[in-house]
Amino acid sequence: MPDIGDICRARDLGMVGGRLYIWAECPVCHLQRWTTTRPLDKGTRRKCQDCVREKSKRVFKIGRAHTIDQV
């Protein structure tokens, strides 16, 4: 298993292309995965997809609750 911060090319992972990937960890659920290096430099995609979905579900439910209360 790779260590956090290991970098390799897409070809080495069995993917098409030459983009660089880094082994990263989600700060919320601590899931480790390969992610592209470019979005990590910008500060996005630090969370895994499951954590991002959970947050968007909560925001949507909270937004709906406020609109229902106002009616």
Report pTM.
Answer: 0.66
Contact assessment for residue 39 and residue 19, using Cβ atoms and an 8 Å cutoff = no
Residue 52 is assigned to a structural domain of this protein: yes
Domain count, the chain: 1
Residue 19 is assigned to a structural domain of this protein: yes
Contact assessment for residue 26 and residue 43, using Cβ atoms and an 8 Å cutoff = no
State the pLDDT at residue 1: 79
Strand partners, 36: 21
Query: Which domain covers residue 64, as residue numbers?
Result: 7-70
Contact assessment for residue 45 and residue 26, using Cβ atoms and an 8 Å cutoff = no
Helix H, strand E, coil C: the string for 35-53 is EEHHHHHHCCCCCCHHHHH
* Residue whose tokens read 């992972």: 13
Residue 33 is assigned to a structural domain of this protein: yes
pLDDT per position as a tens digit, 15-68 = 998 899 999 888 889 999 998 887 666 665 678 888 888 877 665 555 555 555
Residue 1 is assigned to a structural domain of this protein: no
